[in-house]
Structure 1
Amino acid sequence: MNNDTMSNNMATNHNVNFSDWPWLHWTDRRPEHIALAYGEQQFTWLQVNDRVNAYAKQLTEQGVRESDLIVAVSANNLTVLWLYLASLRLGACCVILDPKQSGEQLNDKLETLAAKFIWLSEADLNIFADLPHEGAQQLVFTYNEKSLIAEPFTVIVCTQSGVEWQAKRLASIVFTSGSSGKAKAVAHNAENHLYSAAGLLQSFAYTAQDNWLLSLPLFHVSGLAIVWRWLFAGGQLTLPATSNVIEQLSTVTHASLVPTQLKRYLHERDISTDQHAIRLKRILLGGAVIPVVLTDKAKSLGIDCWSGYGMTEMASTVTAKPADNSAGVGLLLAHRALEIDGQSIKVRGASLGMGYYYRGTLRSMTDDNGWLVTGDLGEIKCAEALVDTSVDKSWSELFILGRSDNMFISGGENIHPEHIERILLSHPLINQALVFPREDAEFGHRPIAVIDAMSHISVCEMNNYLQYKLAKFMWPLNYYTLPNNINVSGIKLNRASVQIWFASLSK
């Protein structure tokens, strides 16, 4: 069996080896530069450091110490960002969980973490008051922004070794999507996150003069990756203070979006009477197929769209490229390696996490040679000509075929649901799509689809659309509307949850 390997250990021009906490690094070099924005509020690097110290002081007063684990059940907001950074400052680790997930999902995660402390955002306090915390102490913050502004800050004196900068100390635990089963808790250290940032930013330029929108949740690796790119590059970070996409994106240069968010932004801008100048320069797209019509329209407005392939275990992005009409997911980023064993995709590199976390212990994620077997299937082809002149055209491009555990056989043919989903998502009215097998007496299995569409689409209409795009045996027999209670978590559909719902229909 032949193996194809991609490796990219190219050095970057950025310093991955910080000698101090990244926000302190930037405080020393550009203390008065704006680092963070939330609505009308702006914070310099000096003020960011002050607030991290203030929150760290509160954590210390409530008993948080080095190596402690804190669970924060919260959507994105200023407090949870300060909490995350302050936890790092003390050598502790803050794990952020989705407040919209089911009680069963949350209980599973709490059991896995066995955290010593828990913080519930004010909006979610009543909802989760009855959850079993296994004796975890509930944290309370008495400071708010007004009091923080009014009183002087006391800089924490680092009298214990636990608060000194150590790049290899546990810095995050993020759960996988659980799309193929129970979610796993992936542990990363700061060095993993910094190398992840360095590899992407070698091609996807983001500098101290740029501003990245924290448009994805911190309980997902893609959201946390934005924070670490900000810390790595010393740029600006903006937390959304409004649900209006145009308002969110009008003040930033960079954003990480899923295609439905880009579609909404372009639509809202078309109908808006306020045709403001566009500051947005680059968008990193993920989570689904990228319709070329969207990226072409964005390009006409001066916005470069990039797509790629990544996973929680690798601290986000593994391959990336400027979005085009190719089905490939781009070139391997620096500090990563990738191998195709048969069709099985394996990855490793400096951004690969420390292991899977369970109640204070770490379990290896890799085989005996240090490779993570992703469960994805793919192939490597020569990269086509790319627009970006900073990438080496001699590199090979990765093409994803699907997941090994999703494939099924229909009439003797191997069917990868992801292949059908890519075509369905190219339909202008479909926002989300998942394909599953249904048992069939003649063919063994036939595909069906669960979709989120802007209006009803009949099977006949879809068959006409698919006529020259898919072989007929791949056409879904039926289309089911995605129920409103399925949690998307801001990134992608949870395949396991949708499959359980679909299975319940036949009972």
Structure 2
Amino acid sequence: MHPLIHARTNPDKPACVLVSSQEVLTYGELDALANQAAHLFRSLGLTRGDTVAVVLGNDFEIFVVAWATQRIGLYLTAVSTKTSVGDLAYVLENSGAKALVAGRAYADVAEQAAKQIGSHSLQVFSAAPGRRSLREACEGLPTTLVSDPSPGSDMLYSSGMTGRPKGVKPQLPEGSIEAPIPLMRLGGALYGMDGDSRYLSTSPLYHAAPLRWAMVIQRFGGTVFIMERFDAEQSLALIEQERITHSTFVPTHFVRMLKLDPAVRQRYDHRSLRAVIHAAAPCPVPVKHAMIDWWGPVIHEYYSGTETCGITALDSAQWLSKPGSVGRAVLGTLKILGADGEEVPSGTQGDVYFADGPRFEYHNDPEKTRQAYNAKGWATLNDIGWVDEDGYLFLTDRKSFMIISGGVNIYPQEIENLLITHPDVEDAAVFGAPDAEMGERVVAVVQPRAGIAGSAEFAETLRRFVREGLGGVKCPQQFDFRSELPREPTGKLMKRLLKAEYEVAYRGA
């Protein structure tokens, strides 16, 4: 199934809707625009395996470019709308992009980045002076499919724990552009996605999961409702108003919805929901219990990464029987390895690997690619966890976030999961900061709830709260307070930025 089929059979059906303006793009319009863009890229000399980069907000144009690249064998590299000139220039150069499509709001950044790399082979489409927009460049081009279609893919850049982001490059698919993809099969089998799906897109479409799931819905012939940015109450209103059947969230979104006034939460009807899917970050057990109590057994979870070398998943009933788990493998085979690189028994903590999953590489970085695979060809996302006797995976933390304090391994995720449940905490980040005596000390940076002051007294309250819940060893030695923590628009905590601040302060002390 594919949008071009829906364009023939149901051309007037909405492929996507901008909820802010209620503007609609039909399948007939999407297919025609994608075909024109495909002809444009071909006319510029782009061939199978080449890359098109975009800096686009949550609007129709990102789908036009995505479906254009998908039908002529190109890679799509979507770049954050928060990008700096330097970071965009790096991605353009590293990816070898032959074309860049930028939204009006990002035209200046795109222009400066293009000048910085000084590539004469890069074609830029934007609203900058002297440039043409993508739509202007496509005027008059054929609205029919190219004569030799070829399936493309995305090559998205992971945010990266340290240093520059990495371009995650899968192998290009072969065969028909209409052939089902693995994520489509999972969406149908696990979540009941089909042509009647009405999907609420809550996160930036330049990220892997939001873009990929939205495109899966369009493969089925459903409708994607696009939020410009996440808002807790607006999400509830849209679920009722648009009779949303499917949506994806991150745990931070759950927390924000749960902390709305109970009267506000009860105002909206959510009975149209068939599957609510969350991923991207660990969900505290009390938060997930609360969501299932509120919305019923429609909450689903999966664990994967931009690399998609494997996927685990579970539904509400499975999670209630295995609280804290991220599920069993539905793509690839789970392997837990010890420090010696050998498999460990069930219940034993180690590095999480997937065998038998799709292959990928980090673009232009064979060393990082090598580090992602072991000698048996199994791939890792650099997480730590364990598998129980029934094959359910429990994650401990990311390997790079583990704190070693006085020789003791401490995993900040469980501390964060506890802190966020305190009624006066809006958000929390826990990490290791350099310490002359202990090697690292455990630091908690907390965003208090509105009206709560960050003070020594509040810090002591939280210290007691953690000590009672997790014991003294895991209790942060230092509590600091911020009005807001650095999170990506998806809700993903950018903890590396906080760690870098404390490292700089330590070196300067």
Among 198, 204, 207, the residue aligned to 1:211:
198
| SS of residue paired to 1:345 | strand
Q: For 1:281, give the aligned amino acid.
A: R
2:170–2:359 contact (8 Å) kept in structure 1:
yes
The structure richer in strand per residue is 1
CA distance in 2, matches of 1:80, 1:404: 33
| SS of residue paired to 2:330 | coil
Is the counterpart of residue 419 in structure 1 residue 414 in structure 2?
yes
Q: Which deviations, in whole Å up to 9, do the C-alpha atoms of 1:430-470 show, x marking residues without a partner?
A: 34433222344554432111233324452211022223211
2:33–2:64 contact (8 Å) kept in structure 1:
yes
Structure 1 residue 372 displacement after superposition: 0.6
2:51–2:76 contact (8 Å) kept in structure 1:
yes
Among 225, 247, 261, the residue aligned to 2:212:
225
Q: 1:283 to 1:178 in 2, by over 3 A?
A: same
Q: 1:293 to 1:215 in 2, by over 3 A?
A: closer
Alignment of 1:153-164 (within 5 A): 154-159=142-147, 161=148, 164=149
1:430–1:452 contact (8 Å) kept in structure 2:
yes
Alignment of 1:399-418 (within 5 A): 399-418=394-413
Is the counterpart of residue 357 in structure 1 residue 363 in structure 2?
yes
| SS of residue paired to 2:476 | coil
Is the counterpart of residue 281 in structure 1 residue 270 in structure 2?
no
CA distance in 2, matches of 1:234, 1:152: 27
Q: Which deviations, in whole Å up to 9, do the C-alpha atoms of 1:380-423 show, x marking residues without a partner?
A: 114xxxxxxxxxxxx42101122333323333422122232222
Q: 1:366 to 1:231 in 2, by over 3 A?
A: farther
Q: For 2:143, give the aligned amino acid.
A: V
Structure 1 residue 471 displacement after superposition: 1.5
CA distance in 1, matches of 2:359, 2:219: 18
Q: Which deviations, in whole Å up to 9, do the C-alpha atoms of 1:150-182 show, x marking residues without a partner?
A: x999433523x3xx234xxx5111111212443
CA distance in 1, matches of 2:212, 2:93: 25
Give the aligned partner of residue 492 of structure 2.
Answer: 492
Is the counterpart of residue 93 in structure 1 residue 87 in structure 2?
no
Q: Which structure 2 segments of 5+ residues have no match?
A: 127-131, 175-179, 339-349
1:113–1:359 contact (8 Å) kept in structure 2:
no
**TM-score, length-scaled by structure 2:** 0.80
2:311–2:330 contact (8 Å) kept in structure 1:
no
* Greater displacement, 250-259 / 313-322: 313-322
| SS of residue paired to 2:400 | coil
* Greater displacement, 468-477 / 404-413: 404-413
Give the aligned partner of residue 392 of structure 1.
Answer: none
Give the aligned partner of residue 246 of structure 1.
Answer: 236
| SS of residue paired to 1:311 | coil
Structure 1 residue 187 displacement after superposition: 1.4
Give the aligned partner of residue 347 of structure 2.
Answer: none
Among 235, 251, 262, the residue aligned to 2:254:
262
| SS of residue paired to 1:498 | helix
Give the aligned partner of residue 111 of structure 1.
Answer: 93
* Total equivalences in the alignment: 465
CA distance in 2, matches of 1:138, 1:94: 15
Alignment of 1:126-165 (within 5 A): 126-131=108-113, 132-135=116-119, 136-140=122-126, 154-159=142-147, 161=148, 164-165=149-150
Q: For 1:397, give the aligned amino acid.
A: Y
Q: 1:104 to 1:315 in 2, by over 3 A?
A: farther
Q: 1:487 to 1:289 in 2, by over 3 A?
A: closer
Give the aligned partner of residue 397 of structure 1.
Answer: 392
Give the aligned partner of residue 320 of structure 1.
Answer: 314
Give the aligned partner of residue 181 of structure 2.
Answer: 194
| SS of residue paired to 1:313 | coil
Q: 1:153 to 1:60 in 2, by over 3 A?
A: closer
Q: 1:498 to 1:309 in 2, by over 3 A?
A: same
1:337–1:348 contact (8 Å) kept in structure 2:
yes
1:290–1:307 contact (8 Å) kept in structure 2:
no
Give the aligned partner of residue 3 of structure 2.
Answer: 23
CA distance in 2, matches of 1:465, 1:82: 50
- RCO higher in 1 or 2 (8 Å CA, sep ≥ 6)? 1
Q: 1:200 to 1:179 in 2, by over 3 A?
A: farther
Q: Which deviations, in whole Å up to 9, do the C-alpha atoms of 1:188-233 show, x marking residues without a partner?
A: 3565992134235422222221111222223222112213421443
Q: 1:315 to 1:359 in 2, by over 3 A?
A: closer
Give the aligned partner of residue 339 of structure 1.
Answer: 335
Q: 1:76 to 1:190 in 2, by over 3 A?
A: farther
| SS of residue paired to 2:191 | coil
Q: Which structure 1 segments of 5+ residues have no match?
A: 1-17, 383-394
Structure 1 residue 65 displacement after superposition: 4.3
Structure 1 residue 266 displacement after superposition: 4.7
CA distance in 2, matches of 1:61, 1:467: 64
The structure richer in helix per residue is 2
Give the aligned partner of residue 445 of structure 1.
Answer: 440
CA distance in 2, matches of 1:330, 1:30: 38
Query: Kindly, what percent of the aligned residue pairs are identical?
Result: 19
2:274–2:298 contact (8 Å) kept in structure 1:
yes
Give the aligned partner of residue 469 of structure 1.
Answer: 469
* Greater displacement, 115-124 / 330-339: 330-339
